[in-house]
Amino acid sequence: MAEKAKAPNGKLGVMIVGLGAVSTTFITGVLMTRKGLAKPVGSMTQYDKIRVGRGADKKYLKYKDIVPLADLNDIEFAAWDVYPANAYESAINAEVLKEKDIEPVKEELVKIVPMKAAFDKNYAKRLDGDNVKDAKTRWEMVEQIREDIRKFKEETGVERVVVLWAASTEVYVPVNEKVHYKLEDLEKAMKDNDTENIAPSMCYAYAALKEGAPFIMGAPNTTVDIPAMWELAEQTKLPIAGKDFKTGQTLVKSGFAPIIGTRCLGLNGWFSTNILGNRDGLVLDEPANFRTKEVSKLSTLESILVPEDQPDLYGHGNDEDTQYYHKVRINYYPPRNDNKEGWDNIDIFGWMNYPMQIKINFLCRDSILAAPLCLDLVLLSDLAARAGRYGTQRFLSFFLKSPQHDYTQDEVPVNHLFQQYVMLKNAIREMGGYEADEEID
């Protein structure tokens, strides 16, 4: 039987990298919910019910009645950002929430003033804030972030901290075996100021884990998905997970692709395109940053509809006719701001290879979908740490576009939404002292 989670004592510090649209929507929503002025809709930890026990012992309970989750009233927020605006100004500027939904918690938001960010303009050329740390090397960056975490703990008296990346997508960093495979190589590269292989986000992840804080990667950056970080998470006995909040189009894909697969229909091609206009869109307008996102978004489908498993259904299209054609596009379109729109055109075929089409048009609000994921990932990472779970937490892949997997051992990630949901439920059961009794087929 897996370990039951220990009860939380004291407060939980949530330190967020990036005080933009997503994080201010998340923070404001939590503060408003605490006051009874809003509902945390979309949050599994606040609404979902899971069956525990079987037969006569069967009960459907909310997560908090199964496991000792941190209470929303016990959360203290802090942030880093390249722009000096406080959380109130930033929430107003983001134009996601209406003023009437921000004003009641203005007093608390004003107090959240971002610390200087560890930033390298080469990783996000479109951002030009000046609230940045003066660090000569990547190692200095790490040391300064660690100092920020210690200071925050000291000043607020929080018992535990979780660090969450809700900042922009960095340029694509290919995994380099010489730097990213061993912890000692990673540390050496940081000390040698290898700015090509060490992204600022890696400095945050390293600093968080060294300071005893689980780290969550909300963007598709190469950060914790490298063997050196897995080694560090094992060493520090802390949980890490995959990357990139699964909010709009990829959520649809991971939920809809199983329909095609389960019904044994064929797929010729899946074309996905998005328009969005927030700071995320601006950064992704840079090709090197989009490449990071594209890799993350493309990986979802291939592990759900596998050409090798069903060559008749998925074995033709592109790649010299060995697979269906899969394309992802993101276009920066300022008028939409945070309200992005995703179009999916799916070319399927059925009986005797007769073609059909499916069109999905999701007019979503990026931060409204991301905020509850932030809350769930923070609460569940904190819970996992208290249950003594460390290293990659595969059960959190439900919330992420790119589930963490050991590619050095050719492990294939689970991207199928309903299989991910079973993994999530089983982990909650285990951490509550119940049997993990659902099979993943």
- The domains of the chain, with CATH numbers, are 12-246+367-431 (3.40.50.720), 249-363 (3.30.360.10)
Tens of pLDDT, residue by residue, the chain (441 residues): 468 999 999 999 999 999 999 999 999 999 999 999 999 999 999 999 999 999 999 999 999 999 999 999 999 999 999 999 999 999 999 999 999 999 999 999 999 999 999 999 999 998 999 999 999 999 999 999 999 999 999 999 999 999 999 999 999 999 999 999 999 999 999 999 999 999 999 999 999 999 999 999 999 999 999 999 999 999 999 999 999 999 988 899 999 999 999 999 999 999 999 998 887 788 888 888 888 878 777 778 988 999 889 999 998 654 556 689 999 998 999 998 889 999 999 999 999 999 999 999 999 999 999 999 999 999 999 999 999 999 999 999 999 999 999 999 999 999 999 999 999 999 999 999 999 999 988
Query: How far, in Å, CA of 315 to CA of 192, rounded?
Result: 46
Contacts of range 193-199, beta carbons closer than 8 Å, 24 or more positions apart: 193/136, 193/137, 193/138, 193/139, 194/138, 195/120, 195/122, 195/138, 197/173, 198/138, 199/120, 199/123, 199/170, 199/171, 199/173, 199/223
Q: Choose among 118, 130, 166: nearest CA to 283.
A: 166
State how far the Cα of 360 lies from the Cα of 346, in Å rounded to an integer: 8
State the Cα–Cα distance between residues 379 and 75, nearest whole angstrom. Answer: 10
Which residues touch 106 (CB under 8 Å, ≥6 apart)?
A: 88
Rounded distance between C-alpha atoms, residue 389 and residue 238, angstroms: 7
Q: What is the reported pLDDT for 291?
A: 83
What distance in Å separates the CA atoms of residue 114 and residue 112, rounded to the nearest whole number? 6
CA distance 241 to 379: 13
pLDDT for 289 equals 86
- The 3-state DSSP composition of the chain as helix, strand, coil percent (nearest 5) reads 45, 20, 35
CA 276 to chain CA centroid, nearest Å: 19
Look up residue 84 and give its two tokens: 């000096």
Bridge partner residues of 12 (DSSP):
75, 160
Please enumerate in sequence order all residues whose Cβ is within 8 A of that of 254, keeping only pairs 6 or more positions apart, or say none: 246, 300, 304, 415, 416, 417, 420
The token pair that represents 383 in the structure block: 């819970």
All residues at 6 or more sequence positions from 100 whose CB lies less than 8 Å from its CB, including other chains = none
Cα separation values, 79 from 24, 83, 122, 221, 280, Å: 10, 11, 22, 19, 17
The pLDDT tens digits of the residues spanning 375-395 come to 999 999 999 999 999 999 999
Q: Which of 228, 236, 238 is nearest to 203 (CA)?
A: 228
